[in-house]
Amino acid sequence: MSLHQPDHSMDITNKLDAIGSAQRERLAFIDFALYFLGEVTRKDLIDRFAVGHAATTRDFALYKEIAPENLKLDMRSKKYYKQPDFSPLFTLDLKKTLATVSLGYGDGFSGHQDFPISCESPEPLTIPKTAIMAVLCEGIYRNKVVEVEYISTSSGKGVRCIIPHSLVDSGNRWHVRSYDRKNSQFMDVVCNRVVSAKILDETPESHEQVTADRQWQKFIELELIPHPNQGNPEAIELDYEMLDGKKVIEARAALAGYLLRKWEVDCSKDGHLHDYVGYQLALGNPQALYQVNSAKLAPGYRED
């Protein structure tokens, strides 16, 4: 995470260069929490870094000196809130930051050294915009309505109000599971198709909350088996650590189709996908996908 140098005087830059890496990391944490959650407290720093009250007092004082327009303390709640003119003090590596959001605080906003062992992975084809993800995360965290300008493949560009409750990494792209007031239903909003987003000071209705998202709250069991047309099924059983010839995974109904597509599981009745694509896995209990909305994404699945 690097500092935006042009917006600050030389003495502030020198001051930051002079402080230790531990305090710099805590300042980065304050910046991150404001940007993505809209608020931060002294307790957040104490819990995250195991520092005392005196240290957090110095941290917030220094952050406010550098970026006075970024935060304001609410005396009643003892929380620092992000202000309308907020501009991130640090530049984030979004790929690492999204891992932080999904897996816990990591090095997406701090200056840790690279891991000493080389690790290669496929380059993602789509990476959402940082500013868009920040608003969506804040909407989730604060349980707020978010107004988005969205481009749909069916209806084109338009403005709609959504109530996001969870981020989803499908393996190919990021979604935010939300209640969409335009269609009066829960849906998966593709983050890359959000052109702009802003938080509305409005509390969602009860039927718009995550507890009302039946497909999200419903869990199903997926039985993955070696593809019947695959020779030497014992090899597949070893690959996936199967027991009694199958691997049972519990998944949210809303995500089942994404998972089966990512894992390349043949869900067709006749197993024909193996002949064309060479799928090694098949779904042993296709009946589990009955009345699962995301099943349309499962390779080869047909409900009729």
Instruction: Tell me if 302 is assigned to some domain.
Output: no
- Across the chain, mean pLDDT equals 87
Can you give the pTM of this predicted structure? 0.74
What is the amino acid identity at position 182? K
Q: What percent of the chain has pLDDT over 90?
A: 66
pLDDT at 109: 46
Kindly state whether residues 202 and 239 are assigned to the same domain: no
Query: What local confidence, expressed as pLDDT, does residue 20 receive?
Result: 83
Residues 230, 182, single domain; the answer is: no
Q: How confident is the model at residue 135 (pLDDT cuts 50, 70, 90)?
A: very high
Q: Is residue 115 part of a domain?
A: no
Q: What is the CATH number of the domain that holds 48?
A: 1.10.10.10
Same domain, yes or no: 144 and 63: no
Split into its structural domains, the chain has a count of: 3
- Count CB-CB contacts under 10 A for residue 93: 15
Look up the CATH number of the domain holding residue 184. Answer: 2.30.30
Domain housing 223: 218-297
Q: Which pLDDT band, with edges at 50, 70 and 90, does 100 fall under?
A: low
